[in-house]
Amino acid sequence: MSQTKPITILGIFVADTSYRADRPPRMGETILGNSFALGPGGKGSNQAVAVARLGGDVHLISRLGDDAFADLAIKTWKDAGVKPEVTRDQDSYTGAAYIFIDEASGDNAIIVCPGAASAISAEDIDARADLIASSSILMTQLEQPIPAAHRALETARKNGVTTILNPAPAAALDGKIISLCDFLTPNETEASELTGLPVNNIEDAKAAAAALVEMGAGAAVITLGENGALFHDGKAFETVPVISVGPVVETTGAGDAFNGGFATALARGMKPVEAMRFGCAVAGISVTRAGTASSMPALSEVEALLAR
């Protein structure tokens, strides 16, 4: 089934500055790294690129500065096919992220400075209310201010648009926001932050998912790294295994790949668990490549993997 209405994403763009080294530096210490890369990132932007690479009609609501990193954002979206709904702010800077990547494992630690995107407001959402109302899905995260995310979810819910909140980075949320989410898609850390429960294994994840549904989410989709993903809608629990394609190069952006794939599949009419399997395939390919936006696969690659 093809997508008939657009997917609208609220989120930020940041320029990812990635440093590979054998270990992170201690405070006050300088170490030699193994490599450096500059590329496009930001959860909302990454998710939009993932959707566009999968053939989806996707609009991204955001803010940029007026600088070289903003030019990188515009080029990234043009190349992928993302339609920007973006305000340029001459008094601020485009967001940037420091990403440390452990050379041996591919695991990462990240500091994000949103820059102009930290001024995204409810007014930005109201100015694009018609776009949200005409969408099949509204997806957002927590890198821009929470009041803007709240207004976007509220606008979507009022218009019968399916809502996805990827609550990253981890933050405390009140029940009002959670109750606006058809799908809440935390990872283990974020699920633990939201519920106050430890999430170290599948059984823990089930308890957290049940708590999130009790808090008002329509369904919880908890991503569990190498253990795949867990679905719970208040009735059944279902797990979707990770789809392994080859050696892991870098896990940065895997969650964005999953969310972009999940939203794309839902927009095409797939049932939630089927959409999670699609998302796992997108993420499975992305972790075999370096970078974030640059690691997102094309639809043909995902379809070939699932057919296999």
Active site members:
256
Provide the 10 A C-beta neighbour count for residue 29.
7
Does residue 279 contact residue 261 with C-beta atoms inside 8 Å? yes
**Do residues 135 and 85 lie in contact, with contact meaning Cβ atoms separated by under 8 Å?**
no
Q: Is 86 within 8 Å of 60 (Cβ atoms)?
A: yes
Angle subtended at Cα 174 by Cα 169 and Cα 179, rounded to the nearest 5 degrees:
100
